[in-house]
Amino acid sequence: MAPVFQTEKTEGNARLGVILTPHGRVETPAFMPVGTAATVKGLTPRELWELGARIVVANTYHLFIRPGVVPVRRCGGLHAFMAWPGVILTDSGGYQIVSLNQLAQVLDDGVVFRSPWDGTLVTLSPKLVVSVQLEWGSDIVMVLDHCPPWPAGRRAVQQSVERTVRWARQSQQVFWEKLAKNDSFWSPPSRPLLFGIVQGGVYADLRKACATALAEMELDGYAIGGVSVGEPEELLVESIEATVPWLPTGKPRYAMGLGEPWQVVELVARGVDLFDCVLPTRLARHGVAYTSCGRLSLRRKELSEDVSPLEEGCSCYACQHFSRAYLRHLWKAREILGVVLLSLHNTCYYVSLMQRIRDALRAGEWERFRRAFLGHNRKGGEVWE
Amino acid sequence: MAPVFQTEKTEGNARLGVILTPHGRVETPAFMPVGTAATVKGLTPRELWELGARIVVANTYHLFIRPGVVPVRRCGGLHAFMAWPGVILTDSGGYQIVSLNQLAQVLDDGVVFRSPWDGTLVTLSPKLVVSVQLEWGSDIVMVLDHCPPWPAGRRAVQQSVERTVRWARQSQQVFWEKLAKNDSFWSPPSRPLLFGIVQGGVYADLRKACATALAEMELDGYAIGGVSVGEPEELLVESIEATVPWLPTGKPRYAMGLGEPWQVVELVARGVDLFDCVLPTRLARHGVAYTSCGRLSLRRKELSEDVSPLEEGCSCYACQHFSRAYLRHLWKAREILGVVLLSLHNTCYYVSLMQRIRDALRAGEWERFRRAFLGHNRKGGEVWE
């Protein structure tokens, strides 16, 4: 069977590659817009496709709770449910279950919590979480992981690593059992992929232990979890640097929940291939646009009569048709269209950034691109907020 | 100069016609989606165009207050500001100024009120309101009218009729003066149109007096105002019936702020050509869809696993791609996309209804269509809310 990840070119630790899935190829490095509840907030699938997105992230925990397993299955799986023709990666929700449910109990064989919607007691085991993702026709299935809160002591983190590795083994077992039965939405030779998640907090040796144990399992890809959970940015980068060397070079790497554009560039340089982040759509709801000169807030009064687009030369629908003056007007009037157009532009910004990164890698100009980009966009650079 | 309205066919009082404007033809009877703040709530202009809308309504009062005259002018007029390639009718806002500002003072030469945004004192005169609409490049300019509140005594309504007629004369004068200078966005032979507004409350003789006086002025079209302002439905229909006979048959008639689908059908039968109503987008924000069997609320629990579209056979983007189960999920999760898709479907429902009305008129089957439609859709018929 063909490898599910191929590296076309590398420059330093950065890689140009492609992931093969049942719903098509994902060129990496790639940004995955976040559609937690089976919708990338504010955007139609058509708008998302047109701006160049080919993969989105949905959240198994959120969708398991609402609408539940059955409606998605009845509709023919997650792709049909949300009308997304591209690739879907389903996060397990290991992080969200614990961070969003203060009373969640992490046990050796799963997580128990009360549904935030109706208070019923819910148990999610590693096997169930994988089964649900397969049943929904996910292209990239994530194992259930145990993500300790920030800050956490070494002992607690060690325990979470042990659980995460044990759960990954259980996940892998049920994954292949289900695939052998071949009773879902995919057809050979294409098959869904299974990604592991590396925990270990800010402890480099625990990161190494977790990454090494998961690497031995020969999963299809590896996520770096437990980052961007509240820790300072230096520790975040250190956690990633403590993990990547212990992951197999032939498998895609995914930094979960990241990040700002400059972080994405920094992490591509450290060998990361996949990113997901709520920033483009969340900032849109706060009236903030990404531009090549930093963030631009529609609160700025001088935009009232600014007839230029958010970003000169941007190909998105918002920039092709609307002025900053109009977008500021929509924002002031709290009109839905303002959120829609900003979400569209910001998501396009991230997707286009990844295209520029891939183009630079392909042309052998990655290092030059990286220096130029960080010169303009680093934290502390011009931010118009 | 060619007449700006041509009647192609009539059946009873119902007419099939076309209005000629600087931004194209409007086939009547027509429904105009409401874009008060220069945006039809929740929809991109592209979505609006694709579902078949060719004319929208914006509100001069609202836009005069926010964003103000200058930003719209700087952007090249209202069409460029909101990126709408079709026809724009700008309501004057006579109704909104008084209904939304309890302290508004209606004087003989205009209206004085405090801006709801910054408290400054604003004066809107009939001449200013027309000038602003022309400056913004509106296709159909509405005169400033004085709309009395409901209920209002005969004396107050009579005074409002006198003001409305006097203001219409002032509006017409400035309209032609400005057109003679030809200093705006249109080019001959196409020109913007000027519509008058008939007031008179529920008093048939005042309706007649107002309609007759305005008819003598040979305006380009006639709106029936002061309806759907809180009065019972019977009085609403009576007010329209008391007005239409006194309006010239060769000019388009516009029932302002109306209405439910069955009201639209009833009023087409009474000779009305144009409609505008916030219902399709407002109900969308409340999770309610229009269908051929009445309103359907997404609150209904049995929709959770309903894989059918909102309306079988509907050509809108929402019905072509999404199930009721998914739309209910979006509604329960308070996702923006739910509002967008329902707004799209409901607006498509109204626009398609007008197409069906025009098709029936063209085929000489209007009466049959009307009876069949009202049999299914009359108030008190099946409503799924």
Structural domains counted in chain B? 2
Question: Which residues of A are part of a known binding site for Zn(2+)?
Answer: 314, 316, 319, 345
Least-confidence region, from A77-91, A178-192, A337-351, B166-180: A178-192
Residue A262: closest CA among A371, A108, A155: A371
Integer CA distances (angstroms), B159 to B96, B107, B147, B152, B153, in order: 18, 11, 10, 11, 10
Contacts of A317 in chain B (CB under 8 A): 44, 46
Contact B143, B168 (CB under 8 A): yes
Contact B176, B202 (CB under 8 A): no
- Do B26 and B167 lie in one domain? The reply is yes
What pLDDT shows up at residue B202?
Answer: 96
- Do A176 and A82 lie in one domain? The reply is yes
For B75, left (φ over 0), alpha (ψ -120 to 50), or beta? alpha
Q: What pTM value is reported for the model?
A: 0.97
Q: Answer whether residue B383 is part of any domain.
A: no
pLDDT bracket for residue B380 (50, 70, 90): very low
Please indicate if any CB of chain A lies within 8 Å of the CB of B286.
Answer: no
Residue by residue, DSSP assigns B59-112 as: EHHHHHHTT-HHHHHHTTSHHHHHT--SEEEEE--HHHHHHH-TT-EEETTEEE
Least Cα separation, residue A107 to chain B (angstroms): 29
Domain extent, residue A372, equals: 284-377
CA triplet B146, B281, B337: central angle to 5 degrees? 150
- Do B210 and B326 lie in one domain? The reply is no
DSSP, res B144: P
What mean pLDDT is predicted for residues A315-341? Answer: 98
Integer CA distances (angstroms), B172 to A336, B124, B146, in order: 36, 16, 16
SS3 sequence, chain A? Answer: CCCCEEEEEEECCEEEEEEEECCEEEEECEEEEECCCCCCCCCCHHHHHHCCCCEEEEEHHHHHHCCCHHHHHHCCCHHHHHCCCCEEEEECCHHHHHHHCCCCEEECCEEEEECCCCCCEEEECHHHHHHHHHHCCCCEEECCCCCCCCCCCHHHHHHHHHHHHHHHHHHHHHHHHHHHHCCCCCCCCCCCEEEEEECCCCCHHHHHHHHHHHHHCCCCEEEECCCCCCCCHHHHHHHHHHHHHHCCCCCCEEECCCCCHHHHHHHHCCCCCEEEECHHHHHHHCCEEEECCEEEECCCHHHHHCCCCCCCCCCCHHHHHCCHHHHHHHHHCCCHHHHHHHHHHHHHHHHHHHHHHHHHHHCCCHHHHHHHHHHHHCCCCCCEC
Residue that finishes a domain, picked among B257, B277, B297: B277
Q: How far apart are CA A362 and CA A179, in angstroms?
A: 35
Q: What is the mean pLDDT of chain B?
A: 94
Q: How far apart are CA A32 and CA A40, in angstroms?
A: 10
Q: How far apart are CA A201 and CA B15, in angstroms?
A: 73
What pLDDT shows up at residue A101?
Answer: 82
Q: How far apart are CA B98 and CA B90, in angstroms?
A: 17
Least Cα separation, residue A42 to chain B (angstroms): 5
Q: Three-state DSSP class for B195?
A: strand
What pLDDT shows up at residue B116?
Answer: 86
Catalytic residues of A: 91, 276
The reply to whether omega before A151 is within 30° of 0 (cis) is yes
What pLDDT shows up at residue B4?
Answer: 93
Q: Do B340 and A340 touch (CB under 8 A)?
A: yes
- Do A235 and A316 lie in one domain? The reply is no
Q: How far apart are CA A145 and CA A90, in angstroms?
A: 13
Q: How far apart are CA A342 and CA A340, in angstroms?
A: 6
What mean pLDDT is predicted for residues A241-247? Answer: 98
Contacts of A45 in chain B (CB under 8 A): 321
- Do B339 and B265 lie in one domain? The reply is no
Q: How far apart are CA A37 and CA A18, in angstroms?
A: 26
Residue that finishes a domain, picked among A277, A302, A317: A277
- Do B177 and B308 lie in one domain? The reply is no
A96 φ, ψ (degrees, to nearest 5): -65, -35
Q: Answer whether residue A385 is part of any domain.
A: no
- Do A321 and A272 lie in one domain? The reply is no
Q: Answer whether residue A382 is part of any domain.
A: no
Q: Do A337 and B43 touch (CB under 8 A)?
A: yes
Q: Do A43 and B75 touch (CB under 8 A)?
A: no
What pLDDT shows up at residue B381?
Answer: 41
Catalytic residues of B: 91, 276
Contact A107, A56 (CB under 8 A): no
- Do B199 and B108 lie in one domain? The reply is yes
Residue that finishes a domain, picked among A277, A301, A323: A277
Q: Answer whether residue B207 is part of any domain.
A: yes
Least-confidence region, from A352-356, B102-106, B346-350: B102-106
B197-231 pLDDT, tens digit per residue, is 999 999 999 999 999 999 999 999 999 999 999 99
What mean pLDDT is predicted for residues B81-87? Answer: 98
- Do B100 and B74 lie in one domain? The reply is yes
What pLDDT shows up at residue B118?
Answer: 87
Q: How far apart are CA B4 and CA B250, in angstroms?
A: 9
- Do A159 and A303 lie in one domain? The reply is no
Asked if pLDDT for residue A123 goes beyond 60, the answer is yes
Q: Is B226 annotated as a binding residue?
A: yes
Please indicate if any CB of chain B lies within 8 Å of the CB of A286.
Answer: no
- Do A131 and A239 lie in one domain? The reply is yes
Element holding B268 (H helix, E strand) = helix B261-268
- Do A273 and A291 lie in one domain? The reply is no
Q: Do B43 and A333 touch (CB under 8 A)?
A: no
